[in-house]
Chain A
Amino acid sequence: EVQLVESGGGLVQPGRSLKLSCAASGFTFSNYYMAWVRQAPKKGLEWVATISTSGSRTYYPDSVKGRFTISRDNAKSSLYLQMNSLKSEDTATYYCARHLLASYVMDAWGQGASVTVSS
């Protein structure tokens, strides 16, 4: 069974940093592109970052480019999201997700980690 378990969420002040982790199991992690997707309270979904299988290529929307960094450790089957210079509009539930092969479509999602940016 595919499992994605996020951790590291919490309350953080504006301008500070936070790092999310995602532990993957039930599939060959190193074979898949991985992503982070967020959902602000009572809002829709927003793609945040994608990383290639080796970690050599990363992709971000303009809203987080330069502030967020996605990374992975294939030996540990783990995905990470380093979030710097956090803003109140970054408040959301952050989901770790697996990409379908050769697609931006996400076919497996974690349960989410809540991040609240507030003073």
Chain B
Amino acid sequence: DIQMTQSPASLSASLGETVSIECLASEDIYNNLAWYQQKPGKSPQLLIYYASSLQDGVPSRFSGSGSGTQYSLKINSLESEDAATYFCLQDSEYPPTFGGGTKLELK
């Protein structure tokens, strides 16, 4: 199975700041990488698919990049509603596997 190592496990940032979250795959996943946002008590919401394609309705301050084994999610101009846990998912190879998650707290 492809292992997805996500970092950092948690981070704290201020409103208006820009943050990045990383996912490292154990092998090349050919841009088959998605990002999800999950708020406490809620189900995950798809933000980005195929590494950099923005899901309909997702604010443009979210962006994804990367290739090969290294991918990142960038959130510009943090807003209070961005406080959540973020997960990556590789769907390059069966079985699909998730990263461990990054908990983003707003100062």
Interface residues of A (CB under 8 A from B): 44-47, 59, 61, 95, 100, 103-112
Contact residue among A105, A108, A109, A111 (Cβ-Cβ distance under 8 Å from B91):
A105
How near does chain A come to B71, taking the closest CB pair, in angstroms?
Answer: 14
Find chain B residues with CB under 8 A from A110 CB: 43
Q: Assign chain B's interface to a size class.
A: 20 to 34
Interface residues of B (CB under 8 A from A): 32, 34, 36, 42-46, 49, 55, 87, 89, 91, 94-101
Contact B97 A47 (CB under 8 A): yes
- Chain B residues touching A, majority SS: loop
Known contacts A45-B44, A109-B44, A111-B43: A103-B91 contact under CB 8 Å: yes
Contact residue among B42, B43, B46, B96 (Cβ-Cβ distance under 8 Å from A47):
B96
Interface centre among B36, B43, B49, B91 (most CB of A within 10 A): B43
Cα–Cα, bound, A53→B94 (Å): 18
The 3 A-B pairs at the shortest CB distance, nearest first, are namely A104-B91, A109-B43, A104-B96
Find chain B residues with CB under 8 A from A47 CB: 95-98
